[in-house]
Amino acid sequence: MINFRDYGRLLVDEPLNKHTTFKIGGKAKYVLFPNSEEDLIKALKLARGENIKYLVLGRASNVLVDDKGFNGLVLILKSLDRLTIKDNKITAACGAGLRELANFALENSLSGLEFAHGIPGSVGGGVIMNAGAYDSEMKNFVKRVRLLDKDLNILDLSNEEMDFGYRHSLAQDKGYIVLSAVFELKRGVDYSGIKEKMDDFFKRRSSKQPLELPSAGSTFRRPEGYFAGKLIDDCGLRGLRHGGAMVSEKHCGFIVNYNKASSKDVKELIEMVQKVVYDRYKVKLVPEVKFIGGDNGDSCNNGNEWSR
């Protein structure tokens, strides 16, 4: 067996449904939780040297893992979760949760990240996908980003160099891994004001999104000029079931695992929804969820995952 144990907590032949928010997925040959950036880099070098496929995830919250699993190394970065503060700037390691980051900002009376409190993904994934909600997004507050390029060189890029756009960044295009990010936030808002805004966002999210069921967040990207959930609802697909997967009755933009769904159930339901919406409105719905493993999923690293 390849000795990945030197670089963190290692699980062998591990079911990935234990680690994804969708609660779906077959086994990975190796699952590693690196102890540090250095261990992450060493593990990647070892995987490359041994010609082992690998995938780097933040908190596995925007992924659909195939029932056949992933025949390689899955690195989950949730142990790299350090948060530090200097003046009005927070430096967040890639594996820190966006919810934890927002709470850390709240504890220090810094405003700007209230929108991120209900997003279940990681800082790394949030930066790569320019996570956003409630008319705000990561690019408004990211000052600098430390990344690992495909040659395992460490880069330090400014906000402008990250080329942020809607659910987009340079890191996504290049397949870079985010190591950490510096967020420049606002002072002058008291704790109670920040908390009130955060609680309001959470209540709105809880009332409209199916947080009580496993999912990978919003299933589709927002098509230009439309809202995916409304298109799906207008097609009469609310509550549509296929195997153990279902178009959420609470929010049609979510496909949920309501009864031990397989990845096949979810993929086929996604295709069904795409076809009906296209046939009726000629709008192509593009999945926001990443497909991993199997015959058509990602076979190697494409950057940290992000989920809403």
Residues catalogued as catalytic: 167, 218, 288
Spatial distance between the Cα atoms of 183 and 70, rounded to a whole number of angstroms: 34
CA 7 – CA 40 distance, rounded (Å):
7
Structure tokens at 82: 């350090």
Side-chain-side CA neighbours of 2 within 13 Å: the count stands at: 24
How far, in whole angstroms, is CA 132 from its chain's centroid?
12
Picking from 67, 70, 102, the residue whose alpha carbon sits closest to that of residue 83 is: 102
Cβ atoms of 265 and 242 closer than 8 Å:
yes
Ramachandran angles phi, psi of 223, nearest 5°: -70, 145
As a whole number of angstroms, the distance between CA 101 and CA 93 comes to 10
Question: What is the DSSP pairing of strand 70-76 with strand 54-57?
Answer: parallel
Question: Residue 96 carries which side chain, given as an amino acid letter?
Answer: A
Q: Collapse the DSSP code of 73 into the 3-class scheme (helix H, G, I; strand E, B; otherwise coil) and give the result.
A: strand
